[in-house]
């Protein structure tokens, strides 16, 4: 029973380490892509004028 608990704790610890490393690596990519998407929407809103809203499919 003791080794089963140690094994479960070790698996949870490894899983959290892997998830943390992935989030640490992917967070800057998420931030940059959100900024680019926001700039794209801003550009479309400014350049469209009276042609309609952003939800219209071209």
What residues does each domain of the chain span? 20-48
Query: Mean of the pLDDT values across residues 15-30?
Result: 93
Place of tokens 């959290």: 16
Q: How many percent of the chain have pLDDT more than 70?
A: 81
Region 4-29 average pLDDT: 93
Q: How confident is the model at residue 20 (pLDDT cuts 50, 70, 90)?
A: very high
Find the mean pLDDT for residues 39-58: 72
Residue 9: pLDDT band by 50, 70, 90 thresholds? very high
Q: Averaged over 36-43, what is the pLDDT?
A: 92
For residues 16-37, one letter each, b for 16 or more C-beta atoms within 10 angstroms of the residue's C-beta and e for the rest, the string is eeeeeeeeeeeeeeeeeeeeee
């Amino acid at each position: 029973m003791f080794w089963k608990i140690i094994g479960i704790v070790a698996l949870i610890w490894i899983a959290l380490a892997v998830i943390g490393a992935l989030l640490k690596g992917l967070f800057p990519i998420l931030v940059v892509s959100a900024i680019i998407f926001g700039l794209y929407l801003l550009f479309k809103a400014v350049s469209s004028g009276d042609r309609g809203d952003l939800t219209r499919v071209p």
